Amino acid sequence: MQAAEKKVFERPRTLKEVPFHFCPGCHHGIAHRMVAEAIDKFQLRERTIGVASVGCSVFLYDYFDVDVIEAPHGRAAAVATGVKRARNDRIVFSYQGDGDLASIGIAETIHTANRGENITIIFINNTVYGMTGGQLAPTTLLGQKTSTSPYGRDFMQDGYPIRMTEILATLEGTAFAARVAFTTPKNINMAKKAIEKAFQFQKEELGFTFVEVLSACPTNWGLSPVDSMKRVENEMIPYFPLGIFKERKAADVL
Amino acid sequence: MTEKQDLVKGNEAVAMGALDAGCRHYFGYPITPQSDIPEYLSYHLPKLGGEFVQAESEVAAINMLLGAAATGVRAMTSSSSPGISLMQEGLSYIAGSEIPIVIINMSRSGPGLGGIAPSQGDYFQAVKGGGHGDYHLLVLAPNSVQELYDLTILAFELAEKYRNPVMILGDAMIGQMKEPLLRRTPEKIVEYPKDWALTGAKGRPQRVLKSLYLKDGELTAHNWKLHQKYEAMKKDEIRYEEVFVEDAELILVAFGSAARISRTSVMMAREQGMKVGLFRPITLFPFPEPRLADFAKKDVGFFVVELNTGQMVEDVKIATAGRSVDFFGKPPGALPTPEEIFEKIREIYPG
């Protein structure tokens, strides 16, 4: 008689049985899975409300088997605030790109963090506007050529790439702020733990939680998936260092 | 037996109406001349277990409202003209996502920073959509403190009935004035099924509230569906007040503050034996077009009075096609006097 098979890998319950539409080598799929795994881990699916933002990730509701509301461009943090204030026993997360969160939505992001809204934001930083065709983002690296910075980002013209995690970590309302990437098994483990911690903190009502994911956009970068991964490792991480920038202890909440 | 009335400011009557309608969630940003509304609610909502959030901007406020109302709770915001302009993006999404909310515009004057005096310069913005896309708000135009209270309660019902944003369009005058208010709390709050509300997908399929429709034909169908709601509103929700219209040879058409002043002018004309009446639209969208069209079948002239340079007059002309429509407009800065309007009546009164 054979030993019973042990299942070691399966699709998270929170993800639907549909293939992602993302481009080959895009990191949205990995980030989606990790968020779904965190929701599963704490058995939050049936009381989670997601906020989709404008960008490649707007189709969040096609993949996550949770209630979802679609926010206008940049306003996801304000929408999430409204959801949470109306239903404070629900788990609320938004999932936003860098154009959405760090440019048009920076006011909503900062004030949501500053109020200590008990929500989680997953922030995908791929240094470009993905859905609109790879234009300059606030996170675009110096010298990086995009469709609206054809000569490369020049700080005299466009300023410097903005580090959102560091900014938000300075705010008292922020309970947890971390930057992660998927470039190595070690980094993937760290990312998984950070996303889990963000949801755990929200569950424990510790305040605003934020995880920035350095993410590849091979299509708009004009690189192969493998070279895109190398770019995250060699060009993005040096400017956007990985790590936990704020971790409130439970005692801090009062 | 007379019931107890209180002397109440218009803005406070709105806040009282919201509380009595069961609204426990408010999101807003200070702006004159409506700040009494958030001030009143910031005091009362916490005591009722509600949520009052002073947002970082009107842009944030309308989006907080979008999020809160999406979960099925009664929620509102209030602002005034420039702030309402900032909320247009959110209103378009709310209308497109079919989320019931109530929004108060105690309008001031524009364009731009304009001033804080009463004006009806926001009529077009209120009734023609306001933001991008093919949609309408349901717009109610009170002309008294009592009506501010009553229509605010009605606004929450209509918002849920149609899953559509409802706007109360007042102005600095009725928001700031005090009048007796009978706080006639409804015995039963009329509510509608909320089988669309986002509450977490426990024991049921996922729910999604959105306005993005990219698949073939989806958006066309969605727009027609919205259109049908507006047609249903036109059929069932038109409200107006009539004064001395039965035998009138000249009908004044005015809403809100302008209607209050015009009413006095109509009385002055009647004292002089002139057959003049007043027609006051209470719903600006849906506009009482069929009723005006009925009048237009008779040999009657129309005279539109507005606190702007001519906006509603366009809708009156459409409704009364072929009839003469005179207009008296007073842009913000000074209110018209009843005498001014009466003089104009005398000029245009037939015979």
pLDDT 10s digits, B249-281: 999 999 999 999 999 999 999 999 999 999 999
Q: What is d(CA B9, CA B14) in angstroms, rounded to the nearest whole number?
A: 9
Region of poorest pLDDT, from A115-124, A221-230, A243-252, B198-207: A243-252
Assign B191 a pLDDT band (cuts: 50, 70, 90): confident
Beta bridge partners of B6: B181
Predicted pLDDT of residue A108: 98
- A86 to B203: CB separation less than 8 angstroms, yes or no: no
What separation in angstroms does the CA of B282 have from each of B143, B144, B285, B314, B350? 8, 11, 9, 17, 27
Interface confidence (ipTM) of the complex? 0.96
A47 at B interface, C-beta within 8 A: yes
- Is residue B317 located within the same domain as residue B341? yes
Phi-psi region of B253 (alpha: psi -120 to 50; beta: other; left: phi over 0): beta
Sign of the dihedral through C-alpha A218, A224, A225, A229: negative
B155: distance to nearest CA of chain A, Å? 20
CA atoms of A183 and A155, how far apart (whole Å)? 27
* Cβ pair B58, B29 in contact under 8 A: yes
CB under 8 Å to B57, separation ≥6 — which residues?
A: A107, B29, B86
Domain boundary residue, one of B236, B266, B294: B236
Interface contact A111-B59, CB threshold 8 A: no
Residues B178 and B101 reside in one and the same domain: yes
Same domain as B262, residue B141 = no
Contacts with B75 from chain A: Cβ below 8 Å: 82, 86
Residues A52, B66: C-beta atoms closer than 8 Å? no
Are residues B257 and B272 located together in one domain of the fold?
yes
Nearest residue in A to B25, CA atom: A86
**Tens of pLDDT, residues B106-155:** 999 999 999 999 999 999 999 999 999 999 999 999 999 999 999 999 99
How far, in Å, are A48, A74, A95, A188 from residue B119 at the CA level? Answer: 44, 32, 42, 59
CATH number of domain containing B289: 3.40.50.920
Tell me, yes or no, if B73 comes closer than 8 A to chain A by beta carbon. Answer: yes
The answer to whether B156 touches B163, Cβ cutoff 8 Å, is no
Please indicate, yes or no, whether residues B43 and B174 belong to a single structural domain of this protein.
yes
Residues B46 and B18 in one domain: yes
For chain B, positions 31-50, list CB contacts with chain A under 8 A.
Answer: none
Q: State residue A106's pLDDT score.
A: 98
Portion of chain A with pLDDT greater than 70, in percent? 97
- B56 CB neighbours in chain A (<8 A) are 107-108, 111
Q: B interface mutation test: which of A79, A110, A202, A203 has the most B CBs within 10 A?
A: A79
Mind listing the pLDDT tens digit for each residue in A20-36? 999 999 999 999 999 99
In this predicted model, what pLDDT tens digit does every residue of A35-55 receive, in sequence order?
A: 999 999 999 999 999 999 999
3-state DSSP of A131-182: CCCCEECCCCCCCCCECCECCCCCHHHHCCCCCHHHHHHCCCCEEEEEEEEC
When the pLDDT of each residue in chain B is averaged and rounded to a whole number, the result is: 96
Q: With beta carbons less than 8 A apart as the criterion, state whether B57 and A73 touch.
A: no
Find the farthest-apart pair of alpha carbons in chain A and give their distance in angstroms, rounded: 72
| Beta-strand relationship, A243-247 and B6-9 | unpaired
For chain B, the domain total comes to 2
d(CA B219, CA B134): 11
Residue B1 has pLDDT above 50, yes or no: no
Query: How many helices (H) and strands (E) in chain B?
Result: 13, 15
Q: How confident is the model at residue B350 (pLDDT cuts 50, 70, 90)?
A: confident
Average pLDDT over residues B335-349: 97
B281 and B150 housed in the same domain = no
* Six-digit token string for B292: 């005006």
- B190 and B326 both lie in a single domain: no
Residue B264 and residue B189 in one domain:
no
A64, A68, A79 member nearest B63 (Cβ): A79
Judge if B277 and B220 occupy the same domain: no
Domain boundary among B236, B260, B279: B236
A85 with B25: Cβ contact below 8 A:
yes
Q: Which residues contact B120 (CB under 8 A, 6 or more apart)?
A: B107, B171, B255, B256, B257, B258, B306, B307, B308, B311, B312
pLDDT band of residue A7 (cuts 50, 70, 90) is: confident
User: Which of B60, B201, B206 comes nearest A78 by C-beta?
Assistant: B60
Return the number of CB contacts < 8 Å for A and B: 132
Fold classification of A28-247 (topology level):
Rossmann fold (3.40.50)
What is the tens place of the pLDDT at every residue in A184-199? Answer: 999 999 999 999 999 9
H or E segment to which residue B105 belongs: strand B102-107
For an interface test with A, give the residue of B57, B71, B76, B101 to mutate (most A CBs within 10 A): B71
| Interior/surface letters B259-297, b for 16+ CB within 10 angstroms, e for the rest | bbbbbebbebbeeeebbbbbbbbbbbbbbbbebbeebbe
Give the minimum alpha-carbon distance from B92 to chain A in angstroms, rounded to a whole number: 10
State the pLDDT confidence band at A237, using cuts at 50, 70 and 90. Answer: very high
DSSP letter for each residue of A179-232: EEE-SSHHHHHHHHHHHHHHHHHHHTT--EEEEEEE---HHHHT--HHHHHHHI
Q: Is B77 strand, coil or helix?
A: strand
Position B2 pLDDT exceeds 80: no
Residue B1, in any domain of the structure: no
- Based on the domain organization, do B204 and B328 belong to the same domain? no
Per-residue pLDDT of B286-323, as tens digits, reads 999 999 999 999 999 999 999 999 999 999 999 999 89
* pLDDT tier for residue A1 given thresholds of 50, 70 and 90: low
Q: Among A45, A61, A70, whose Cβ lies nearest the Cβ of B97?
A: A70
Region A102-124 average pLDDT: 98
In a domain, B108, yes or no: yes
* Same domain for B312 and B164: no
CA of A105: which chain B residue's CA is closest?
B60
**Bond preceding residue B33 cis, omega within 30 of 0:** yes
Q: Taking residues A1-26, what's their average pLDDT?
A: 90
A46 touches chain B (CB under 8 A): yes
Range of the domain at B121: 6-236
Q: Is A85 on the interface with B (CB under 8 A)?
A: yes
B196 interfacial to chain A (CB closer than 8 Å): no
Q: Would B131 be classed as within a structural domain?
A: yes
CATH number (domain holding residue B10): 3.40.50.970
CB–CB of B56/B67 below 8 Å? no
Question: How many whole angstroms separate alpha carbon A216 and alpha carbon A128?
Answer: 10
Give the distance, in angstroms, between the CA of residue A55 and the centroid of all CA atoms in the same chain.
12
- The pLDDT assigned to A251 comes to 57
Q: Which of B236, B252, B279 is the last residue of a domain?
A: B236
pLDDT of residue A5: 86
B71–A72 C-beta distance less than 8 A: no
Residues B89, A105: Cα–Cα separation, whole Å: 14
Give the pLDDT score at B34: 97
Q: Give yes or no for A42 touching B (CB within 8 A).
A: no
Q: Cβ of A2: how many Cβ atoms within 10 Å?
A: 4
Rounded Cα gap, residues B49 and B67, in angstroms:
18
Quote the percentage of chain B above a pLDDT of 90: 95
A71 exposure class (CB count in 10 Å sphere: 0-12, 13-18, 19+)? buried
CA distance B169 to chain A (A): 24
Report the relative pairing of strands A135-136 and B6-9 from DSSP bridges. unpaired
Contact with chain B for residue A214, Cβ under 8 A = no
User: Please, what's the largest Cα pairwise distance for chain B?
Assistant: 73
Looking at the predicted structure, is the pLDDT value of residue B188 above 90? no
pLDDT value of residue B187: 83
**pLDDT tens for each residue of A139-186:** 999 999 999 999 999 999 999 999 999 999 999 999 999 999 999 999
- The whole-number pLDDT of residue B124 equals 98
